[in-house]
Structure 1
Amino acid sequence: MHRFRQHLEEIISLTDEEFEQIQSFFVYKKYKKHQVILEEGDLAKNEYLVLSGLLKSSFTDADGKEHILQFAWENWWITDYNAFWKRENSILSIECLEDVEVLSLSLEDKTRLHAEFRKMEQFFLKKSNAGYVGLQKRVLSLLTNSAEKRFEQLIATYPQLLQRVPKKLIAAYLGVSRETLSRLSGK
């Protein structure tokens, strides 16, 4: 749990006792590559912190085309947030692209955690705000930038992604064809 504590202490400071109590709200889970941890249509019961490995969050449209909303690797949080907060069935699926270790947190436990530890409320507020900023930048990039510019931004921001994610999935994330991605990455 050393990695988890480091992750928390990037934002808040904790005593050993506080960390032990906070840790008790989370459930450690391991998943294998290609395993789906949230299926479209299932109730989104948990939010996940990735300790190791890589996940993708995606939506499949009516034509069967996959749209990738997010990749999540070490120290990233992931779920279908709309479904999680509203206690609804998910429209997204979350799949393991590598073997994965996560800490899961239910909405009930997150609510209790906020009530019992104001520090954790502050932690999640800063994390969610950073997520909103990142999502806004991504949407604006999709709306205003060329495929080439989106690819350049992705590689500049997350250079390790090309080594960990198949190009087919990177193309789906960028909203381009596999052929377009090949042309862009060959430059």
Structure 2
Amino acid sequence: MYQKLREHIEKVVPLGEEEFAFVCSHFTLKKFKKHQFLIQEGEAVKYNYFVLSGLLKLVHTDDTGKQHIVSFAMEDWWEGDFYAYYTQSPATMSLECIENTEVLCLTLEGYKNLCNGLQKMERFFLQKANFGFLSSQRRIISMMTSNSKERYEQLLKQYPALIQRVPKSLLAAYLGVSRETLSRLSH
């Protein structure tokens, strides 16, 4: 299980055996069942999650009770309510399993220790944060400038494996369209 984490990190920075052992000492393995929550709105966010297996959805519920899917996360992805995690404020989003899921959990203290104790990990997390930021910007621009068909085609092109695993109702919510509209788009 930690080998997947090593392969993920080594796409950015190489690790020696002692360095990898140091990295592993900061993570905890947790398993969750389908529909189980890793984070619930209003609660403290203890961890940032690296997905080993399974599928998650990050959801924000607005004042009217409408749920907005912010993102999905599958194997080899990081997920969490990052604002709440880094500021140690209550969660404004929920993280729920769409499938049975295994994750490696990293506390904020562990994150800081990794960055302070191993400069390579600081570089790794910086690159992950930068690419996450770029991805978020692309999604925001797409939501503002693309029609529903264009957004669907972008999702198909960018994440073909995700389309096969996410129920159509959740894909529709992610794209900001009705289930019926998504059915028309996918035919």
Counterpart of 2:80, as a letter, is T
Write out per-residue CA displacement over residues 158-184 of structure 1, whole angstroms, 9 at most, x where no aligned residue: 111221000000011001111111110
Matched, 1:98 2:103: no
Matched, 1:183 2:184: yes
2:20 corresponds to: 19
Shift of 1:122: 0.2
Q: Secondary structure at the match of 2:64?
A: coil
Question: Gapped runs of 5+ residues in structure 2?
Answer: none
Q: Secondary structure at the match of 1:84?
A: helix
Write out per-residue CA displacement over residues 42-82 of structure 1, whole angstroms, 9 at most, x where no aligned residue: 11111000011100000111222110001000111111111
For 1:167 and 1:141, the matched residues in 2 are separated by 20
For 1:135 and 1:162, the matched residues in 2 are separated by 19
2:64 corresponds to: 63
1:154 corresponds to: 155
| Matches for 1:2-41 after TM superposition, within 5 Å | 2-41=3-42
| Matches for 1:61-140 after TM superposition, within 5 Å | 61-140=62-141
Counterpart of 2:21, as a letter, is E
Write out per-residue CA displacement over residues 82-139 of structure 1, whole angstroms, 9 at most, x where no aligned residue: 1111100001000001111100001111011100000000000000100000000000
- Spell out structure 1 runs of 4+ moving beyond 3 A: none
Counterpart of 1:53, as a letter, is G
1:168 corresponds to: 169
Taking structure 1 as the reference length, what is the TM-score of the superposition? Answer: 0.98
Percent identical pairs in the alignment equals 49
Q: Secondary structure at the match of 1:11?
A: coil
TM-align CA RMSD: 0.7
For 1:4 and 1:111, the matched residues in 2 are separated by 18
Counterpart of 2:143, as a letter, is L
Taking structure 2 as the reference length, what is the TM-score of the superposition? Answer: 0.98
Give the total of aligned pairs: 186
